[in-house]
Structure formats: structure tokens, C-alpha cells
Amino acid sequence: MTTKHREDLLRQMIRIRRFEERCVELYSSTKIRGFMHLYIGEEAVAAGVLGALGPSDAVVSTYREHGHALARGISMEAVLAEMYGRTNGCSRGRGGSMHLFDAGRRFYGGNAIVGGGLPLAVGLALASAMRGEPVVTACLFGDGAVAEGEFHECLNLAALWRLPVLFCCENNLYAMGTALARAQAETDLALRASSYGMPSWPVDGMDPLAVAAATERAVESIRGGSGPCFLELRTYRFRAHSMYDAERYRDRAEVERWKDRDPIPRLAALMREDGELTDAELETIESEVGDELTAAIAAAEAGPFEPVSDLTRFVYAEHAS
């Protein structure tokens, strides 16, 4: 992996982390309202997976999708304005934190329903296959989605029809407040997925280099016509499930142990050891990300609200006379 690739991964993870840290402040001051689910701790997955996809590939995400959207190339301004409910947001302020969407970037949600993105991804992949397009659809979802019926239906159909889908399970060990081992008899999710006859393997989701390498391998296989692949990305969220979560279901010591594997300082340390990063270069990255975030906040706060007269726009179809 080149120095440039490693730097890109580090920069992307820092962008996501600083963005969400600032979102906590904005939410606490009620500038952002509604539900908000933070991605802090899981940045290696977004940077590694999204960075390995091409611009023509499709992405279907979850309600914990800020990191996915940023890594896909949706601007901080468009994401933050959406969370502010302004019309310069990527969903015109109508979706908020859980429904980020950008058709131009082929980013199809942000979906608030657990497992709801799986059928969408299979449908997109089926369309690509029928058109003969060399396109991969990446579907990101949490370990909680594995308990949903559509998970099994979608893996079965994708394998049966050899569809170009990359299933990316972000296994952070907790489906909301329920530990994986308390809800699933088989906790090796890659093993479960392999029962549908598709290549499936576990990946260290706290290592962006491992995630990027595994994704590149899977994308190459899928694009070559071999059918779907499944990645179990074993990661961990450092914050509660959502801003409303009292987080009484896990031990604080467990969280601290996982923080020792924080992907950002780990990659920075590795790059320093290899002579690929200096303290000054890291400070430059942080400064540039800070400037980007400051500009995004200013643009979001200056963005207009949608007029009341547009309340039913995009809700009811307009029939030609």
C-alpha cells in the first residue's frame, strides 16, 4: 500500500472523527435536532470500504451513516446542512441525520429501518446485472440486521442469482443495547453468511489497511462475475447507540479496552515508524480538516429553510393535464 493511500485513509478517518465530535457540540446546543447516531470508533470501516469503490459503484447505508457519506465524497456542508434541516442539505433538509442521500454520488441512503437497505442493494445489483454493467453495489449494515428476515432472503437471492453485491456487516458487538452473544446462537457472522455459498471472511474493522485490502479483494472478485461477497468487519463504537442512549448495557472498562485500538492514532503511529508521517504533517491535516469543518458549519447555518408552501413537494406526484 502506497504512502499516499495510507495518508488518504488517515485523513478520511480524521475528517469523520472531527466532524462527529463537532456534531455532538451542535446537538447539545440544539442546533441539530432529532435522532443522531455517532460513528466514532468505526472510522476505519468507512475509510477502507468506501475508498476501494469506484464512482460508478452504488452504496446503500444505515442510519449511522455520516462517516459513509463523507467517505463517499458528499461534502461536509451538504451533510451538516441536512442535519440542520436546511435546503442546501443533501436531502434538501427533509431527511436529517438518518436519511442522507445523493443520487449523483450513487449514495442511496441513510435508511432508518434496521436491515432496510439490504433489499434495496439487491435490487440495485439486479438492475446492474440485467443491464450488463460492471458495477458493484456495497451494502453496509450492523450486526443487528443479521436477525432480520430480509438479511437471509437477500443473501439467498444474491447468491442464487450471482448478483454483484458486497455485503459489509459492521459488527460492533451490540444491536442497539443487546450484546451479540445474547441474541445470536452463532456469533461468527462470516461463517453464517458462508452458508449461502458466497465467499465470506472476517476482517479487523479497527485496521483501515486490513479493511481496504479485504474490500479491494472482494470488489475484484465481484466485478469479475463471481457473484456476491460478505465481509464481517469487526469494529466497535466508542459512543452510545444514539444521543438518547443511557448506555447501561456495557461495562466502561470494555469501552476503554477498545479505545486502545483506536484506528486513528494506530495508523498515525505506524506511518511515523515507517517514516511516512511527521508531527508537522499531521498538524497540517488537522488544520485543513478544521478549516473545512468551520466552513461547513457557516454554510449550514446560513442555509435557508424550506418554505411552508413546499410542504407537499416531492410527496404527491404532479400529473400532466
Q: Whole-model pTM?
A: 0.94
Which residues, in sequence order, are CB contacts of 184 under 8 Å at separation 6+? 143, 146, 147
Q: What CATH topology corresponds to 3-310? A: Rossmann fold (3.40.50)
* Residue 87 CB-density burial (10 A; 0-12 exposed, 13-18 middle, 19+ buried): middle
Closest CA to 71 of 94, 111, 43: 43
Note the pLDDT of residue 112: 93
* CA dist., res. 6 & res. 19, Å (int): 20
Q: Domain ranges in the chain?
A: 3-310
The neighbour count for residue 158, using CB atoms within 10 Å, is: 27
* CA dist., res. 28 & res. 243, Å (int): 9
Q: Is the C-alpha dihedral spanning 69, 74, 77, 78 positive or negative?
A: negative
Cell for 318?
404532479
Note the pLDDT of residue 68: 98
Note the pLDDT of residue 93: 94
Residue type, 308: V
Note the pLDDT of residue 317: 75
The answer to whether 39 touches 66, Cβ cutoff 8 Å, is: yes
Closest CA to 193 of 169, 161, 217, 219: 169
Q: Which residues of the chain have pLDDT under 50?
A: none
The DSSP code for 203 is: E
DSSP symbols for 30-48: TSS-S-----TT-HHHHHH
* CA dist., res. 9 & res. 44, Å (int): 8
Note the pLDDT of residue 314: 83
Residue 283, SS3?
A: helix
In degrees and rounded to multiples of 5, residue 232 shows phi and psi of: -95, 105
pLDDT single digits (tens) 13-43: 999 999 999 999 999 999 999 999 999 999 9
Which residue do the cell numbers 432508518 mark?
A: 112
Q: Above pLDDT 70, what percent of the chain?
A: 99
Which residues, in sequence order, are CB contacts of 169 under 8 Å at separation 6+? 141, 142, 143, 145, 146, 189, 193, 230, 231, 232, 233
